[in-house]
Chains A and B, each alone.
Chain A
């Protein structure tokens, strides 16, 4: 299981690519699929590398990205 993952709202994505550049793990890339507005939307190319840092989501001007992270096991 990856440490984190993202959900991209494809209809909000405008394909600007800022998230691709912001991701320290090179998780994201252009999918080549166009949404209804004609934008080449972003998807996860290497989902297993995601750490759930949310850099991509912070950078997204269209708030198209939600980020999930593994629950940290309770310390005993």
Chain B
């Protein structure tokens, strides 16, 4: 049943910076919430005409379809390097790299660290869902100890394959980065916190403040083999113990 809205005001709708395309993400996947938040941020800062999205390889490989702005789809792991090139070629552009944990913190390790170390004036969104989502839920460097994945069916054994890597903490050791934070999306309060952090990370670039990294603890209900609601609870209760939320660097 529908309630008549003639006398009401619309207070929430799709951000204008997003296309009408339907997302290709699985039900309940946080990639979709992040897409909305980035679209909203681009709207609020009025930068759609000069924004360039650097899409990764991973479930968000189609990110170039979601935003009404220019985009380049980079080779696996190289989004921060491609963002560097675009930004240096035309510093007036607002360039953001959107990268999963397999992309950013595994195959792209070198490019990710050195873009941060050079203090490139770019914005990086790092989506940490502790698996390689797109390819079927293999272990990522961020997978938790004892986490069952398709390549660690008995659980991640640190003696064999190491411990979950806290990549943002590593980058926070560098002198150049301006803003590094870890956020989450498991409830309304964290969604609002993430909105604030992403806006800051884009504003820093607009104000030529340098490198900003927003790590977002995200879910992969499909490969975690959990319902979307159980996945949220898992992030809140378990993942945040290994990856604590909050700002790591703020040198604005």
Chain A residues proximal to chain B, CB less than 8 Å: 1-2, 4-5, 7, 11-12, 14-18, 21-22, 39, 43-44, 47, 50, 52, 54-55, 57-63, 65-71
Query: Do A59 and B18 touch across chains, with their CB atoms under 8 A apart?
Result: no
**Contacts A58-B188, A62-B23: A69 and B232 contacting too (C-beta < 8 A)?**
no
A7 to B18, CA, bound (A): 19
A44 with B9: CB separation less than 8 A: no
Chain B residues within 8 Å of A, Cβ to Cβ = 1-3, 5, 7-15, 18, 22-23, 25-33, 35-36, 187-188, 191-192, 221, 227-229, 232
Given contacts A61-B28, A66-B13, 19 further A-B contacts (CB under 8 A): A1-B7, A4-B11, A5-B3, A11-B22, A14-B27, A14-B28, A16-B221, A17-B227, A18-B228, A44-B3, A52-B11, A55-B188, A61-B30, A62-B32, A63-B15, A68-B5, A68-B9, A69-B9, A71-B8
Closest-CB distance, B188 to chain A (whole angstroms): 5
CA A47 to CA B28, docked complex, whole Å: 23
> Quick check: B191 and A58 within 8 Å, CB to CB?
yes
Q: Which residue of B lies closest to A50 (CB)?
A: B3
For the complex, what is the distance from the CA of A62 to the CA of B18, rounded to whole Å? Answer: 12
* Contact in complex: B23, A7 (CB < 8 Å): no
Q: How far is the CA of A31 from the CA of B191 in the complex (A)?
A: 26
Do B188 and A22 touch across chains, with their CB atoms under 8 A apart? yes
B10 touches A18 (CB 8 A): no
Q: Judging by beta carbons under 8 Å apart, are B11 and A69 in contact?
A: yes
A71 and B7 form a contact (CB under 8 A): yes
Closest to A13 in B: B27
Residues from chain A with a CB closer than 8 A to the CB of B22 are: 11-12, 62
The answer for the CA separation of A26 and B249 in the assembled complex, in Å, is 39
CA distance in complex: A12, B32 (Å):
12
